[in-house]
Amino acid sequence: MSDVEFRPSQAVTILAGQHKGEPGLVWAVVGDKIEVLTLEGDYHVYSPAELEEAV
């Protein structure tokens, strides 16, 4: 069995964007976490509160 948690009822938004000036994909699982994958393959996970603090 995989450790992946599957929640089919949650909305997901996928955007092309930037992370610290680097192009990449940003996808948000609403109300839970924001995940970033850069074109170099770097993967980051943030809570909505963490991103609000950075603004």
pLDDT of 4: 59
Q: How many domains does the chain have?
A: 1
Q: Which domain holds residue 41?
A: 31-55
> What's the rounded Cα separation, in Å, for the pair 10 and 35?
14
> In the chain, which stretches have pLDDT less than 50?
1
Q: Is the overall model pTM greater than 0.75, yes or no?
A: no
Asked if the structure places residue 43 within a domain, the reply is: yes
Asked if the structure places residue 15 within a domain, the reply is: no
> What's the rounded Cα separation, in Å, for the pair 13 and 40?
21
Contact 25, 36 (CB under 8 A): yes
pLDDT of 1: 45
> What's the rounded Cα separation, in Å, for the pair 9 and 15?
19
